Structure 1
């Protein structure tokens, strides 16, 4: 199980922590959304989780496209290789995601014929747009709230006094993001933001980068919220 606290993502004084602090209210609203709290205590309605799973599958497809753009924008051969590997991992995850959906009673045919929601479209296209308009730092800052944020969500759940472990139907999802592999991925993404902040003039561009980061956090909130809304009459 994961060690450390979410405050440890990124280096002290580094760009990632500065971005997170700049939008602290929106960041907490995202990483401790009602959807997350109800994952923690096991009270999330099944229909809300099912809706999330389908839209998350559709999200992954667009996320892979954004990672492909990151290969094009990458600042080095090493970064290109790293991003290429991440694309392969995401595409493999889509296959696993379909199996996961099936375990929750959602056939593959249902997933594939579902349209992207407005929330999914607005979030994924925003990320891609920031990458098209800017450089690799702009794109990575737009991507980071997803990658790092899910790592933080998992750690917040582990620290939640109201957390339900025994009999929690969502414990498998929690374990996946609290696990060592994902936590390493999240910390590496935060460290990459710090490094690019130094090499690509993050200080001079902070206001614009903070606006991107904050908007991505707000779009993440809406992504959670659509799941809750699906469970309401």
Structure 2
């Protein structure tokens, strides 16, 4: 049997970059390495400042450049002295870089004085880089103020020239003129206030709060908020985390073109670097993070996979399953209209049983989602599964008393057990991964049916199953699938390697259950409906799961 036409890079698989035109590896090779400029102070111990920025930029896939605003004498125990070179020399550094090299993103760190802030501001106005991330180094972890009053005022005036500001909680409080937030709700409120007042997105960081969790949130000027969860990592290797995170975000934003993706990827990298910090033996105070732990563990790969890469890679892993679905007699006969009606009604009955629990799993994803947009999306999908899809199934089943309210068969039960087990574990990423194949595989099949991929018979107006086939080519369903794919890919990119592997496995198993669901014998004419088309070389549904997933 000849292979059915595939939609080339379906639109619902696009996540954060234009469609690729070849293998994932080739796309990575063709990507331009961004030039990232850090404008900050120097830390001779290597854990913070320019030294940390250059390591972070390299670990996240960029080429690091540096203009030094101040020289410090410090180590892991503290700062002993600071020397600020003449401001005119800083300007010379900046002009020398801009005259010769492309600057794709700028990270601003320790600026030190009102004069330095003014010089940097003038340079930004004159060159206007595409990406500016400002880490307002104003208050040390000890609580000591690092800037005088004039410099703090100048830094506030600089904020509108930034695209993102990443203060710690003490710095955020100074920027909004309030006491330091002592809980996450207060921190979020201050972040929203700063974003609204300046028109600049703010990364609110909860690492300095008490408790087992360290949430972060990306707050846009329009109050749109994307949340990021994470359990606290028990370590004293936290020297330079603010410097490292801000430069990593600048780099990932230059690579991906998306702020929430950049924050998610930078956080994932930072967390693995913090967790591996104990491998280093540097100083007797708060030690540095291990900037290259993940790079070395991944055999030289500079960054965690991007969401677009993950969406493509996981989808490509289902190629054998998708081909096996195409070859199923049930699908072939559904497409050409020769499927016995009792087999179709039995399928719809099991699908209705499935949808009731699938809606519960969608609702669980909404409950577990870390941000309001994802919560709304999954809740809306749950409502749609019940109010629209299930209603349409029941209309088609009207009059078929034997199949209107069936008991779940073994195939349906196994699939639902897999989904409900994901919910019971309570891991948001795993739940989303388990849900996604139901979106993707139905849209893939429906879009190709609508495009005539199974032959002209599937497009005949008199086709007995035309309304059902058309429902899966609905543009609204395709758009929902695109959104769900993006949520999954972004969540996976920000996950730890171990969680990402659990997500990949849940995704794969759900795809296998989809194949089994399509391949299960249906109805009183099941033997006829599922009979192998030996002349065409189709596989028998009894062995298709094992064959496709071997």
TM-score (ref. length: structure 1): 0.85
- Structure ranking higher in helix proportion: 1
Report the equivalent of 1:152: 444
1:60-139 matches, cutoff 5 A: 60-93=355-388, 94-102=390-398, 105-107=399-401, 110-112=403-405, 114-139=406-431
1:196-215 matches, cutoff 5 A: 196-201=491-496, 205-215=499-509
1:217 lines up with 2:219 in the alignment: no
Report the equivalent of 2:341: 46
Deviation (angstroms), 1:129: 0.8
For 1:77 and 1:133, the matched residues in 2 are separated by 22
Q: Structure 1 residues 180 and 60, CA, compared in 2 at 3 Å: closer, same or farther?
A: same
For 2:470 and 2:463, the matched residues in 1 are separated by 11
Q: Structure 1 residues 132 and 32, CA, compared in 2 at 3 Å: closer, same or farther?
A: farther
Deviation (angstroms), 1:60: 0.7
1:7 to 1, 6, 9: 9
1:55 to 344, 350, 359: 350
Q: Is the 8 A contact 2:335 2:454 kept in 1?
A: no
- Structure ranking higher in strand proportion: 2
Tell me: higher relative CO, structure 1 or 2? Use CA pairs within 8 A at least 6 residues apart.
1
For 1:197 and 1:49, the matched residues in 2 are separated by 36
Q: Structure 1 residues 27 and 211, CA, compared in 2 at 3 Å: closer, same or farther?
A: farther
1:170 lines up with 2:465 in the alignment: yes
Q: Structure 1 residues 200 and 98, CA, compared in 2 at 3 Å: closer, same or farther?
A: same
Q: Structure 1 residues 160 and 65, CA, compared in 2 at 3 Å: closer, same or farther?
A: same
* Larger Cα-atom Rg: 2
Aligned length: 225
Q: Structure 1 residues 153 and 77, CA, compared in 2 at 3 Å: closer, same or farther?
A: same
1:17 lines up with 2:312 in the alignment: yes
- Can you list the C-alpha shifts for 1:169-210, whole angstroms capped at 9, x where unaligned? 111111111121222122222222222222334x55444333
2:328 to 10, 33, 36: 33
For 2:326 and 2:493, the matched residues in 1 are separated by 26
Structure 1 spans left out of the alignment, 5+ residues: none
TM-score (ref. length: structure 2): 0.38
Deviation (angstroms), 1:57: 0.7
Deviation (angstroms), 1:226: 2.0
Deviation (angstroms), 1:5: 2.8
Q: Which stretch shows the higher mean deviation, 25-34 or 152-161? A: 25-34
- Name the SS for the 2:526 alignment partner: coil
- Name the SS for the 1:178 alignment partner: coil
- Name the SS for the 2:13 alignment partner: coil
